[in-house]
Amino acid sequence: MTAIVFPGQGSQFIGMSKDFFDNFEIARLTFEEIEDYVQIDLKSIIFDGKEDLINITKFTQLSIFTASLVIFRSLQNEMNLNEDTINVVLGHSLGEYTALACSNKLNLKDCSLILKKRGELMNNAVKPNKSGMAALIGKDSNYIQQIIEQNNINLEIANDNSPIQVVVSGDIEDIKKNKEIFLQNEIKKYVLLNVSSAFHSKYMNEAQNILSKEIDNLNFKSNNISLISNFTAQISNSNNEIISSLKNQMANTVRWTESIKKLEEIGETNIIEIGPNKVLSGLIKRISNKFDIKSINTILDIK
């Protein structure tokens, strides 16, 4: 059995999934289907880099979702990916929605439209240049949380990506002014991220409440594939639990390190990363050496 993981924001690049689009009819049909649902010319954004829209949150999320879906659908027959061969799925932030679509827990129309709404809400949640995020390299989330508490820093852990990479969110002035405190406390690197807002923090509470009501209207399906939630880092095949976690995801920490530890705990050994770039594979290798990891984001990766 296999676990499939799907990337989140930051993995995008111009031209992602283009070789699949050029070589697989299902890839072209998937692009057309999603574009029909969301009424956005995603091909010009993803393939041509139109006005650099790919790096604007309300387009980024749909773009990564589409590229990942296109690759997954192209691979389904090539690699025999189905309910009998996939044990569990998980995704990083927006990737959790990709996981829900690829596991057929949500149909493509519902998932495309809810992700369009999510991207818009997160894009507009805070006035521009008022909040932000920073990546801290060198220590784990518990160590980072201790620094935050001991120094009364008004920042939150947004992404627990690996034992040596944690992302914090908050007011942009707090992000900037506390850099030296972290560096003085054995943090090796402190990198401001090019994002529009403080994702996975209290700044997303209002947007999360709005999206939560939209999630209530979705029709989730049951099958044999389980999901590990960003919010709880627990594995579940209960739609009620999956929905509850999804409704809390946007304003809370992405618990990626714990999620991969959960995969290890249940005895999963094979992981396939599907989607643009190989960010998650790199993070997973820093969390555990017990997995056979394959990353697929070009046709060459399946040969």
Q: Which of 92, 103, 200, 295 is catalytic?
A: 200
How many Cβ atoms are within 10 Å of 152's Cβ, its own excluded?
6
CA separation for the pair 197, 181 (Å, rounded): 22
- Contact (Cβ atoms closer than 8 angstroms) between residue 141 and residue 166: yes
- Dihedral angle computed from the Cα positions of residues 241, 247, 250 and 253, in that order, rounded to the nearest 10 degrees: -30
Retrieve residue 35's tokens.
């574009």
Name every residue whose Cβ is closer than 8 Å to that of residue 297 and which is 6 or more positions away in sequence. Answer: 16, 17, 71, 273, 274, 275, 276, 277, 278
Name every residue whose Cβ is closer than 8 Å to that of residue 68 and which is 6 or more positions away in sequence. Answer: 6, 7, 17, 95, 98, 102, 274, 275, 276
Q: Which of 63, 68, 74, 93 is catalytic?
A: 93
Is 93 a residue of the active site? yes
CA separation for the pair 176, 157 (Å, rounded): 15
Is 200 a residue of the active site? yes
CA dihedral sign, ordered 195, 198, 200, 205: negative
Q: What SS3 state is found at 58?
A: helix
**CA atoms in the 13 A half-sphere facing the CB of 92:** 29
Instruction: Report the DSSP beta bridge partners of residue 165.
Output: 137, 162
CA separation for the pair 240, 248 (Å, rounded): 13
Q: Which residues are catalytic?
A: 93, 200
